[in-house]
Amino acid sequence: RFPDGTVRPAEKVGYDPVNDLAVVKIDPSGLDLTVAPLGDSSTVRPGQLAIAIGNPFGLGHTVTTGVVSAVNRNIQLPNVVIENLIQTDAAINPGNSGGALVDSAGRVIGINTAIIAQARGIGFAIPIDTARVILDQLITRGRVARPFVGIEWGGDIDASVSRAYNLSVDHGIVVRDVVPGGPAQRGGIRPGDIIVSINDHRVANWNDFIRDVMNRRVGETIRVTIVRDGQRQVLNVILAERPQ
């Protein structure tokens, strides 16, 4: 249903249950539609304006405003954890899911996804950079193939950890183990390595690592910079599809 009351049948193109995102298709003939400009969610910062658009409780075409409260949030939903979300205090209620979260220039920075039950002023949106990758796959293949590196996280490195263990780096993640035959092992990553960057993008912690990998595609080759025995090395890792 559109704001002018027009109703069109919709066909489901694809659905991603992990992020609760779907693509539907309609016949646009005779409709005056405007494409919303997409922003860059990697530049979103706490404190900036956030505008949520949706249909809360069936009340159509509702707009609420607030600010970005935090980024890189993880929330636990039934049977799944959704990672690296934008948190906002713009009112997001049942019915808002799938609506846009936009910035002060009207650019879509996220897709509203969920609220914590019984909480006030806490809503979440999937960053548009993440949504782009998911939606592109839903359009082309009807499902999402998630990239897989095949490492077990052994902890984050920060300045205090670096000092305590006399390390040569002050950021990164420790590889506790690798999946036998997985992309990491095939690329030369070993247990005990410290991953400090992917394609020259700094990896400060596990959230950085996951966010970077999830924004890439199966089959893509990434340059992983590691520190092993105090020496930096660059390894090429070909991302595989995450096992079901």
Domain range annotation of the chain: 11-29+37-141, 147-241
End-to-end, the C-alpha distance of the chain in Å comes to 35
What lies within 8 Å, CB to CB, of 5 at 6+ separation is none
* Predicted pLDDT of residue 49: 98
In the chain, alpha helices (H): 128-141, 159-165, 183-187, 206-214
Gap between the Cα atoms of 132 and 164, Å rounded? 41
- Share the mean pLDDT of the chain: 90
What lies within 8 Å, CB to CB, of 19 at 6+ separation is 82, 113, 126, 130, 131, 134
The residue-averaged pLDDT of 36-49 equals 96
* Predicted pLDDT of residue 81: 66
Q: Which of 189, 187, 193, 199 lies closest to 173 in space, CA to CA?
A: 193
- Multiple choice CATH, 11-29+37-141, 3.40.50.1980, 1.10.10.60, 2.40.10.10, 3.30.310.10: 2.40.10.10
Residue 202 has pLDDT above 60, yes or no: yes
Question: Model confidence at 149, in pLDDT bands (50, 70, 90)?
Answer: very high
Gap between the Cα atoms of 18 and 85, Å rounded? 13
* Predicted pLDDT of residue 76: 66
- Multiple choice CATH, 147-241, 2.40.50.140, 2.30.42.10, 1.10.1200.10, 1.20.120.80: 2.30.42.10
pTM for the complete prediction? 0.68
* Predicted pLDDT of residue 119: 64
Backbone φ/ψ region at 89: left (φ over 0), alpha (ψ -120 to 50), beta:
alpha
Partners of 64 in the β-ladder: 52
